[in-house]
Amino acid sequence: MSPTTNAPCVIAIDAGTTGVRSRAVFLDGRPAVAAYREFAQHYPTPGWVEHDATEIWNVAAETLRQVVSDVGRANVVAIGITNQRETVLAWNRSTGEPYGTAIVWQDRRTATRCDELAAAGHLGLIRERTGLVLDPYFSGTKAAWLLDNRDIAVDDDLAIGTIDSWLVWNLTGGRRFVTDVTNASRTMLCDIRTCSWDAELCELLGVPIDALAEIVPSSGRVGTTAPDCGVPEGIPISGIAGDQQAALFGQACVRPGMAKNTYGTGSFVLLNVGETCPAPTEGMLTTVAWKLADGTTTYALEGSIFITGAAIQWLRDGLQIIDDAAETGPLAESVTDTGGVYVVPAFAGLGSPWWDPYARGAIVGITRGTGRAEIVRAVVESMAYQTRDVVDAMTAASGTPLVELRVDGGASVMNLLCQFQADQLGVAVQRPVDQETTALGAAYLAGLAEGVWASVDDVGRQWGLEAEFIPADDRTAAEALHGQWLRAVERSRHWVS
């Protein structure tokens, strides 16, 4: 297509778990322009998940070049970056070459190390300073594993970073090595009260603090694209946020008490709790929601569900009972219920509120009458049950009832899921007009830094409602179904020794 004339925009690079999308968000609200490329998933042994970091950069650069060409270089005000969190890699700052593959957030290889740290009495320290729990989900033990198991020299050339750091490094031609505070807060190496690397935690986990990136605000210029990086040069890079924090911002949950859920590869419920870092909350994570250029820091409670959309991929690629993810909704709606079938998709353990890395997937309640439609519907319903488990724990711990839930992500297009979710939670579920809220959040953070949007309130006015799902008044059926779900969860827990 020919470049759009006189239509300023901010481009968000959304580097997800299975692919990268670059998306131009126009200041005048016209439809977005986007490009998407998938990259390979690597499973070298059960429980291990890896990505080729060079491939991620190549597809990111390819999609960015395409979108810039489509909209016209002169119209691009800034770039914002959002990324799969916790995925970590190491590379050489002189050569720019990665030390092997990146270890993905879903990877469970460091579960034993986390158990050892807990047994040694370090959980309290980690909870207090990072807001996290001792789980292989987070970056710190993965980074230590890289150093312990690969031929990596610990010297001035060593860089250890998350995907945002890797993208900025490449976009700036190796001139900037940074990470934003939201990504840093997911490493188990950052004190979220001071938003800085913690020397004691780095020593405890065996990660050299000098190998880590400079921590910067989520909104604020960190550099410009370099002439030698393979994309158009001179574009400001002005926003960075982990994908779930970006989605919270893109959903305009900018006031305390507002919450969102993203149904992606996994699902993540975030509740804005304001500018004061709360004490550790049982079953929940405390995380940095974002930090603005003026130093204002907002915190969130988070519940992390490891597998939701990935279970639909499993239906397609593993069981091969659907040919395309788009079949999921219609097939689930073709039956009135699951016939008593429950699918617990604990393929990578269970996250919030259970935090059980030894749980494994289970299908229970199968009868001779069970068909593929019932199994597909059970997978869809499992997304809503897992979300309810997180919300129940979150509201019990905070003492603040959920008023509404804003939803996004690929599976949120299913009306069946949204209505079932509303019935399970007993609150309205709202779906926005623009469901690409992760990219929107990255664009808003970058645009704020460059004066495109004047304030956080200005960002909030960009949000629009597409559909609202009201829960049934009678909660008897919802409670009975959830009770059976909890029985199924118990059967999946502690499965692996």
DSSP 241-278: EEHHHHHHHHTT--STT-EEEEESSSEEEEEEEESSPP
Let me know if residue 277 belongs to a domain.
Answer: no
Quick one: tokens of 297? 């820091």
pLDDT digits (tens, 9 = 90+) for 312-367: 999 999 999 999 999 999 999 999 999 999 999 999 899 889 989 899 999 999 99
Structure tokens at 173: 């031609």
Q: Is the dihedral of CA 323, 326, 331, 334 positive or negative?
A: negative
Q: What is the pLDDT of residues 31-66, one digit of tens each?
A: 889 999 999 999 999 889 999 999 999 999 999 999
Do 212 and 343 have their domain in common?
no
Q: What are phi and psi of 116, to 5 degrees?
A: -65, -45
User: How many CB atoms lie under 10 A from the CB of residue 176?
Assistant: 18
How many Å from the N-terminal Cα to the C-terminal Cα in the chain? 56
Asked if residue 374 and residue 233 are part of one domain, the reply reads no
Amino acid at 282: E
Q: Tell the burial category of 373 from Cβ atoms under 10 Å away from its Cβ (0-12, 13-18, 19+).
A: middle
Identify whether 438 is part of a domain.
Answer: no
Residue 106 to residues 72, 135, 181, Cα–Cα distance (Å): 37, 11, 21
- pLDDT band with cut points at 50, 70 and 90 for residue 3: low
Distances (CA, A) of 122 to 128, 316, 358: 10, 41, 20
- The CATH code of the domain that includes 161 is 3.30.420.40
How confident is the prediction for the chain on average, in pLDDT?
Answer: 93
188, 139 Cβ separation under 8 angstroms: yes
Strands 102-103 and 342-344: unpaired
Q: What is the pTM of this model?
A: 0.85
Of 144, 166, 425, nearest to 271 by C-alpha is: 425
Domain carrying residue 162: 9-250
Collapse the DSSP code of 214 into the 3-class scheme (helix H, G, I; strand E, B; otherwise coil) and give the result: strand
- Please indicate, yes or no, if residue 329 is contained in any of the structural domains: yes
Give the pLDDT confidence of 163-180 residue by residue, as tens digits. Answer: 999 999 999 999 999 999
Angstrom CA distances, 266 to 279, 297, 348, 352, 392, stand at 25, 26, 10, 11, 18
Q: Are 318 and 386 in contact (CB under 8 A)?
A: no
For residue 202, is it within any domain? yes
Same domain, 333 and 419: yes
Number of domains in the chain: 2
CA Rg value for the chain: 22
Q: Does 85 fall in a domain?
A: yes
Say if strands 214-216 and 178-180 run parallel, antiparallel, or are unpaired: parallel
Q: What's the token pair of residue 40?
A: 């390979």
Contact status, residue 154 vs residue 147, Cβ threshold 8 Å: yes
220 and 88 within one domain: yes
Give 462's pLDDT tier (boundaries 50, 70, 90). confident
Number of neighbours of residue 284 by Cβ within 10 angstroms = 25
